[in-house]
Chains A and B, each alone.
Chain A
């Protein structure tokens, strides 16, 4: 029996080991994923993003609990927290808020550190999600690091992106800035039990009317929920599933998956080409180019061009 068979047969330790291999870029990970890949592509991938402290983990805890009570499928969670840029270490604390899910064999939670990636996920999050998908988890929640305005990678990875806001996080001008609000398929004002929640809800609605790209087929809904009390969770889940149906029925889901495949292939290609090119360079050439950029003799673009043309 190979590790891929064990993963397909529901062996959770084998799955956990595969995720480590993928994260560590151990070649055995990619080999195993290659075997499993034809079995993936069946899960509904739900991205959960929003600023730090808006309650993403607590919300995920409630959403997964709801799914486990009302739906037959097994559920996985991938929770990303930031790595320290100085030591590379990380504290992954999302499990603290997900204790309701402990002891449920139908739930698999994996914490990941961002390991230097800046888009709110880590370079290997997608591979980990593919493996969970192939292992038979039919709904996968992907929680990003606390995200501000530019961490929008999640929109490329998820089928349905939920942007979480909390009351008092900014005025209307914040809300019409480009970026994180634009990627929302569902917007939710969490902590709806706090004062000013309705104000935030109204501001978000108003800004969506101003800034929405005019997708009449799926006007982004604004939901209100309190992950603390559980209020509004069923409604939010209803919107998430409505969006899943919209993706299936409209062909938008297929379009998104094609776009995702193209992005992934291009990303892997540039990664591979860059690392092959770097290892094929004569000793010292990269460092010499770096020095000419550092001392401002050459722009980075010019230095890169000359490296590729072999004149570095």
Chain B
């Protein structure tokens, strides 16, 4: 039997609502994944530590505040430093087009904006985890 995928869904930074994150959490659950939901106002350090303790396969970050260029690279850096470079990182939220290549270059597997289809997101999580596993 295939391993049950474990995904951490977190909201870094200070923006105040998590409806989108909850919709994604629910969609991943309905796709048979175990979703560790950590709630609002998480620092990159808290997110990385939760990812470590929970030994997740992927981290989904929901960011609406515009602070993604500061927060996302920091999360990836911390994951790598603690030996979790295999963890796939995906972003949902409002990310300007010009930032997308920079974030992907920095190790983000996929980025989803408003109106993204939850089926596509489920697929992207599966693909990103499989790609990380192939990369070893």
Contact = CB atoms under 8 A, between A and B. Distances in A.
Given A88-B4, A92-B34, A113-B34, A103 B49 contact: yes
Given A12-B53, A20-B55, A91 B26 contact: yes
Contacts of B30: 84, 87, 89
A294 interface: no
A141 to B, nearest CB: 14
Nearest to A108: B53
Contacts of B28: 89
Interface string A20-63: 10001000000000000000000000000000000000000000
Interface residues of B, number: 30
Nearest to A83: B34
Given A13-B84, A102-B46, A90 B34 contact: yes
A100 to B, nearest CB: 11
B110 interface: no
B50 interface: yes
Contacts of A96: 37-39
Contacts of B46: 99, 102-103
B52 A12 contact: yes
Given A24-B4, A88-B32, A111-B36, A95 B50 contact: yes
A305 interface: no
B89 to A, nearest CB: 17
A87 B37 CA distance: 18
A125 to B, nearest CB: 14
B53 A109 contact: yes
Given A24-B4, A84-B29, A90 B35 contact: yes
Contact of A16 (B31, B33, B55): B55
B35 A89 contact: yes
> Which 4 pairs between the two chains have the least Cβ-Cβ distance?
A89-B29, A96-B39, A16-B55, A102-B46
Interface of B: 3-4, 6, 25-26, 28-39, 42-43, 45-46, 49-50, 52-55, 82-84
21 contacts: A13-B52, A16-B53, A19-B55, A83-B34, A87-B29, A88-B32, A89-B28, A89-B29, A89-B32, A89-B34, A89-B35, A90-B35, A91-B26, A93-B39, A96-B39, A99-B38, A99-B42, A99-B46, A103-B45, A103-B49, A113-B4
Interface of A: 12-13, 16-17, 19-20, 24, 83-84, 87-93, 95-96, 99, 102-103, 108-111, 113, 115
